[in-house]
């Protein structure tokens, strides 16, 4: 079975993110948002060659996945800006639903993590901006 299907199949119940290494090691998280990816991204390339599945992927998550070295992504919901980013970096991707943008949990505007990476075009700079945004939000 193709690794992306295994990762995609792990997105069940509380699991929001799943990644599978080339050797078959499965990493999952039930944490919503990009916090888990941000923590992993402290080590660039830490998931080199992995495939990943996530419930919601916006531009912020896409930058972190690129920084981690993930080579293929499935998103249940993928924003168009994230799709453009994956295309620009040569990341293979697929998705269930497409969204213009990722909104905040209250549904009142743009997700604060998406706002943090507006105008940024490089994964390391996005990582630093997201770290700063998390510190500012007190998460």
Share of the chain above pLDDT 70, in %: 99
Q: Hey, which CATH number is domain 3-137, 3.40.140.30, 1.10.10.10, 3.40.50.300, 1.10.1060.10?
A: 3.40.140.30
Q: What is the pTM of this model?
A: 0.95
pLDDT in tens, 66-76: 999 999 999 99
**Burial of 122 by CB count in 10 Å (0-12 exposed, 13-18 middle, 19+ buried)?**
exposed
Q: What is the DSSP secondary structure assignment for residue 36, as one 8-state letter?
A: H
* pLDDT above 80 (res 1): no
Nearest-angstrom CA–CA distance, 94 and 78: 8
Strand partners for 98? 78
For residue range 119-130, what is the model confidence (pLDDT) as tens digits? Answer: 999 999 999 999
For the chain, which residues make up each domain, given as ranges?
Answer: 3-137
Q: Which residue has the tokens 């999952």?
A: 28
Estimate the crossing angle of helix 59-68 against helix 80-88, to 10 degrees: 30
């Amino acid at each position: 079975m193709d690794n992306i299907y295994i990762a995609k199949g792990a997105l069940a119940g509380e699991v929001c993110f799943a990644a599978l290494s080339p050797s078959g090691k499965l990493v999952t998280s039930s944490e919503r948002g990009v916090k888990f990816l941000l923590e992993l991204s402290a080590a660039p390339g830490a998931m080199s060659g992995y495939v990943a599945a996530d419930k919601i992927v916006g531009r912020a998550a896409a930058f972190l996945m690129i920084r981690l070295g993930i080579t293929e992504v499935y998103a249940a919901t993928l924003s168009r800006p994230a799709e453009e980013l994956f295309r620009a970096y040569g990341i293979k991707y697929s998705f269930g639903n497409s969204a213009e943008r990722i909104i905040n949990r209250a549904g009142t505007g743009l997700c604060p993590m998406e706002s943090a990476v507006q105008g940024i075009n490089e994964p390391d700079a996005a990582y630093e901006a997201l770290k700063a945004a998390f510190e500012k939000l007190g998460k």
